[in-house]
Amino acid sequence: MAFTRGFHGRRRSDVDPARLPPGQYETNAFPVLSAGPTPHTPLEEWSFAIGGALGEARSWTWEEFTALPSETVTADIHCVTKWSKLDTSWKGVPVDVLLAGTEPRGRFAVAWCDGGYTTNLPLEDLTGGKAWVAYQYGGEPLAPEHGGPARLLVPRLYFWKSAKWLRGLNLADQDEPGFWESYGYHNRGDPWKEQRYWSD
Amino acid sequence: MLDVPGWPGHLAGQHVDVRLTAEDGYQAQRSYSIASPPESERLELTIERIEDGEVSSYLVDDARPGDVFELRGPIGGYFAWHAGLDGALALIGGGSGVVPLVAMLRHRRAVGAQTDARLLLSARTLEDVLYREQLRDLRDSSVAIHLTLTRVSAAPADWSDAWTRRIDREMVAELGPAPGADARFYVCGPTPFVEEAARLLVGLGHDARSVRTERFGPTGG
Ligand SMILES: Cc1cc2nc3c(=O)[nH]c(=O)nc-3n(C[C@H](O)[C@H](O)[C@H](O)COP(=O)(O)OP(=O)(O)OC[C@H]3O[C@@H](n4cnc5c(N)ncnc54)[C@H](O)[C@@H]3O)c2cc1C
């Protein structure tokens, strides 16, 4: 390992190192990473759709969506730009609820969003209690710059996979790189394996 | 300024990750935009010292010529520009957000591109403007440069047409080009600044897809 002369760093004694993936540091702020302007979709125009390689497509209006069974989730989130935020609290609909009774034919999904952003995930990372479509953060409606009205929440992957301004999931039998994934970011993005970029 | 053996080359606008390692193995990593154009042999980074900043204060106060750092990169293919792209180049930077934009303007000049180029820059005071002298030169050549200073009460004598307030609709309209014209917008700086600038651009009627953003950090400037 190459040391940096004179660098001591500012360790924080109160962080359990087992909760920070390699190369991450804890922040209490909530930084923002987005590729373009923040979209502002009125709730009357908002809907959520599940389509692609599954039996029957489904969609919900905002009212229908927020009436679905929801969960409150406390999770640590890890951004590829190195910050981690511990014990964040969200409310949202489990993806398992959205997919209940459907028969996905493939193993992949693309999350698509207002503003044209997409991100790809293996279905396995979206099901089994690992992913939600969140519309509250810290007990408040999710702010637009953090992805409101609703965003994907997949805490076990780097946070760009938790797509903001989410409008739907498209299931697929083939993996297709999403937005950041086609601009040099890792296809899967597991923070514990430090899968940040293509070369990782 | 860094010499990077085996540097694979980069695009203007990309960044690197810098990793510092203490003697006990503790590490801290942060991202820094590349200020030098692809044509330059050495890699130049410009770091703004953030009060209590773990990495920026080390790099600004303690790093010396001859020190060795671990770098990863270049990273980011979206917030990037090269002279082969068509359309006007319209840049909006807040504070150290000017760094990747300077790389774009240097690249444009290095290859002699005729691209219509404009820059709107926000800083606290004239002394806080990074690349002040280079920007003056660019302004004298062919880049339209607009400046706003947020912490002064009157425009300085040597930049007498500077505004003295936070970025607003008038400045973004002045930057141009008009909505509908073929242009690429690159907006970079502290998160609240970028949010506001991007919101103003979309509000003026620019296509959101023509606006690329890079947000540097959580707090305002
Ligand atoms: C893609 C990208 C490119 C970047 N390019 C540059 C660059 O060219 N030049 C440059 O100087 N910085 C750049 N940054 C910001 C840089 O990565 C660090 O965030 C910054 O240097 C602060 O790190 P630190 O360790 O000194 O502060 P930390 O110890 O991480 O933070 C100390 C305090 O400062 C606040 N803070 C953190 N970052 C910022 C910020 N950017 N602005 C204001 N307050 C902040 C934190 O909330 C905290 O309260 C870039 C960031 C990104 C994501």
B61 touches ligand 1 (CB under 6 Å): no
User: What is the maximal distance between C-alpha atoms in chain A?
Assistant: 61
Which residues of chain B neighbour A23 with C-beta distances below 8 Å? 19, 27, 29
Residues 147-186 of A with CB under 8 A from B: 179-180, 182-184
In testing the pocket of ligand 1, which one of B131, B216, B219 has its CB within 8 Å of the most ligand atoms? B216
Nearest to B34, CA basis, from B81, B84, B89, B91: B81
* Residue B22 to residue A4, Cβ atoms within 8 A: yes
Residue with CA nearest ligand 1 atom 52: B216
> pLDDT by residue (tens digit) across B96-113?
999 999 999 999 999 999
Residue of B nearest to A117 (CA): B209
pLDDT band at B208 (very low <50, low <70, confident <90, very high): very high
* Integer Cα distance of B132 and B98 in angstroms: 11
pLDDT band at B220 (very low <50, low <70, confident <90, very high): very low
Residue B25, classified by CB atoms within 10 Å of its CB into exposed (0-12), middle (13-18) or buried (19+), is exposed
Which residues of chain B neighbour A7 with C-beta distances below 8 Å? 20-22, 28, 58, 62
Which residues of chain B neighbour A184 with C-beta distances below 8 Å? 75-77
Q: Are B193 and B166 in contact (CB under 8 A)?
A: no
Stretch B60-86: mean pLDDT: 91
- Which domains, ranges and CATH numbers included, belong to chain B? 15-75 (no CATH), 88-216 (3.40.50.80)
H or E element in which residue B187 lies: strand B183-189
Which residues of chain B neighbour A39 with C-beta distances below 8 Å? 208
Which residues of chain A neighbour B19 with C-beta distances below 8 Å? 23
Q: Are B27 and B21 in contact (CB under 8 A)?
A: yes
Adjacent-strand bridge partners of A32: none
Stretch A9-26: mean pLDDT: 81
H or E element in which residue B123 lies: strand B117-123
B119 touches ligand 1 (CB under 6 Å): no
Sheet strands (E) in chain A: 25-26, 47-52, 58-61, 71-78, 83-94, 108-113, 118-122, 132-137, 140-141, 151-153, 166-172
Interface pTM, i.e. ipTM: 0.78
Nearest to B71, CA basis, from B19, B32, B124: B19
Q: Does A23 touch chain B (CB under 8 A)?
A: yes
> Which residue intervals of chain A are DSSP H helices?
62-66, 95-99, 123-126
Residue with CA nearest ligand 1 atom 10: B47
What pLDDT does A12 receive? 61
* Integer Cα distance of A68 and A60 in angstroms: 10
Q: Does B23 touch chain A (CB under 8 A)?
A: yes
Nearest to A179, CA basis, from B72, B38, B79: B79
H or E element in which residue B169 lies: helix B169-175
Distance from CA of A101 to the nearest CA of B (A): 36
> pLDDT by residue (tens digit) across A58-116?
999 999 999 999 999 999 999 998 889 999 999 999 999 999 988 888 899 999 999 88
B168 touches ligand 1 (CB under 6 Å): no
> pLDDT by residue (tens digit) across A138-185?
999 999 989 999 999 999 999 999 999 999 999 999 999 999 999 889
The b-or-e profile of A75-95 (16+ CB within 10 A means b, else e) is bbbbbbbbbbbbebebbbbbb
Residue A137 has pLDDT above 80, yes or no: yes
* Residue B54 to residue A25, Cβ atoms within 8 A: yes
* Integer Cα distance of B2 and B42 in angstroms: 6
pLDDT band at B219 (very low <50, low <70, confident <90, very high): very low
Stretch A114-132: mean pLDDT: 95
What pLDDT does B221 receive? 30
Give me the CATH code for the A45-193 domain, please: 3.90.420.10
Quote the ligand 1 centre to B150 CA distance (angstroms): 20
* Residue B58 to residue A6, Cβ atoms within 8 A: yes
Stretch B19-35: mean pLDDT: 90
* Integer Cα distance of B163 and B49 in angstroms: 25
What pLDDT does B97 receive? 96
Q: Does B51 touch chain A (CB under 8 A)?
A: no
Q: What is the dihedral angle through the alpha carbons of B92, B93, B97, B98, rounded to the nearest 10 degrees?
A: 100
* Residue B215 to residue A8, Cβ atoms within 8 A: no
> pLDDT by residue (tens digit) across B122-145?
999 999 999 999 898 887 778 999
Cα B189-B194-B195 angle, rounded to 5 deg = 155
Structural domain boundaries of chain A? 45-193
Backbone φ and ψ for A68, nearest 5 degrees, come out as: -70, 160
Of the candidates A25, A31, A183, the beta carbon closest to that of B28 is on: A25
